[in-house]
Structure 1
Amino acid sequence: MRVVIAGAGNVGRSIASELVENRHEVLLIDRDPRAAKAETVPNAEWLLADACELSTLDEAALHRCDVVIAATGDDKVNLVVSLLAKTEFGVPRVVARVNHPKNEWLFNESWGVDVAVSTPRIMAALVEEAVSVGDLVRLFTFQQGEANLVELTLPQDSRVIGRRVQDVSWPPDTSLVTIVRNGRVLTPTPDTPLEGHDELLFVALPEREKDLQELLAPHAT
């Protein structure tokens, strides 16, 4: 997979290191010479230029990219890069970093963003997930499909405990994707029984979250 990352700061370089380690082809773009620390990600390509310029993105061959990641510390730059990547070069997947929560509403398909990553929101969700039993916690939003990744830890009094996955009448437009039990990640099968304190991860439409809550832990609402 070929990935272009706009922004070679700490965040951009960290992402690049992970992707290179997983054997992806990575190009980092930054206009600040101080950010061009090629020795930190020696197996990546580097381009010292302004990612908001069409000529730069053309030089980076965005038309051959599978993913563009707008990872600068400036929300305006990330939005411009996302829009150009999607509208001018037809990049299939655009991921954008949200630096300030007040700007999160802008990071959607109108600006070419497929996935918006807001660090404050993710951290808040992880805190909730760590301390909440019986409360549905939204961990992540898939902008393109308008679905959410949500988590709920089953309380001991949940009426689904002891029932098999196939015997539960799940709400429409929801999918149980993972069960975390005693530190192990389980792929649910129709015969998997549900146990107290199971962490259930779903992909669900927003309008179905209330139905999931009432099914799994109605006393928590």
Structure 2
Amino acid sequence: MQLALLGLLHALVGLSTAALAAGVAYMAALWALLAAAARRSGTRTLGPADHVTLARALLVGGVTALVAVLVMTDHPAKGLPLVILVTLSTVALILDAVDGRVARRTGTASRLGARFDMEVDAFLILVLSVFVAASLGVWVTAIGAMRYAFVAAGWVAPWLRGSLPPSFARKTVAAVQGIVLVVAASGVLPYAIAAAAVGLALASLVWSFGRDVVWLWRNRTPVL
């Protein structure tokens, strides 16, 4: 399916070799990581919600290829390529609200599914932040890089890998990042308004991560 989507995008907008390579590399990494996670969890088949997340992941692969062709080449970031990028991203964000509901209604929620969903979200935000950074500035990539920096910090400070309690605020802030980045990517907002909106989104993300770090520190397990 991913190859079919890449082929369709190539026929529509003419993906560069680098863009095709980015899409294929994403697909290979996705399947390798998903297979490894499934083996570790003992999961043999994906549930209904996981298939929705997989569909989102395939769309993110298309977004990745489009961002590569728009950022790494002289291809103008407008017209059909931009319309397709915004459309794929929007559908992926909408489906993000679907897979969780499917998991709850079918009773198939799992740690693997939750992690899969989170990683797809994180990578979409990273790719969109790279695209928006091309017009607003490299600082925008902090939005996409923040979660990966948080995970990397957990390797140095294991207490950062603790379990966090559910938080509506955290989910809301995470959802806002994708929405704001897609709107900024679409080019419908004047530069100043787009920059302000993305800046506020980044500030809310810093607040959210900061709050979680403080909670994890206060609830860390003391070293005996």
Q: TM-score, with normalisation over the residues of structure 2?
A: 0.30
- Tell me which structure has the larger Cα radius of gyration: 1
Q: Relative contact order (alpha carbons < 8 A, sep ≥ 6): 1 or 2 greater? A: 2
Question: Which structure features the higher share of helix residues?
Answer: 2
Q: TM-score, with normalisation over the residues of structure 1?
A: 0.30
Question: Which structure features the higher share of strand residues?
Answer: 1
